[in-house]
Amino acid sequence: MTETDRPIRVLVAKAGLDGHDRGAKIVAASLRDSGMEVIYTGLRQTPEMIVHAAIQEDADAIGLSSLSGAHMTLFPRVLELLKENHAESILLFGGGVIPDKEAAALMKQGVGRLFGPGTDTHEIADYLRNEIPKRRATQEV
């Protein structure tokens, strides 16, 4: 099986003190049901723990859920750690309660799509099915 043939592998994470993980668990289950390999890290992970797990698990993407208001700290820190670890090919996307203006600022920094409450989980799976092959293709060049 080549790199492009293997299933998409997504690490779903909850960072910081945010203890609300219902949405993250729903997204994780939906992505798994759509044929992706999913690793759920559980609650209260640090950005360092998340990036370490993503690298160890050979993840294609990190789905970071943020409901605590700490998104402007957590997402940039995860991006910084991915870069420090030469793992920029791992897509960082996310969801939660993130105001549009702040979501735009995060995406400008390199975060992928951010999905708000009520998003159809098929939309998230479609996004990953579209985005991950592009990233894999640039790695193989």
- Looking at residue 36, its pLDDT comes to 98
CB 4 within 8 A of CB 133: yes
The answer to whether the predicted template modeling score (pTM) of the entire model surpasses 0.85 is yes
| pLDDT interval class at 103 (50, 70, 90) | very high
| pLDDT interval class at 138 (50, 70, 90) | confident
Does the pLDDT of residue 3 top 80, yes or no? no
Which strands make up the sheet holding 114-115, listed edge to edge?
37-40, 9-14, 61-66, 91-96, 114-115
Q: What is the pLDDT of residues 37-62, one digit of tens each?
A: 999 999 999 999 999 999 999 999 99
Q: What is the pLDDT of residues 67-83, one digit of tens each?
A: 888 999 999 999 999 99
CATH topology of domain 9-140: Rossmann fold (3.40.50)
Cα angle: 61, vertex 119, 54; to 5 degrees: 15
- Domain positions in the chain: 9-140
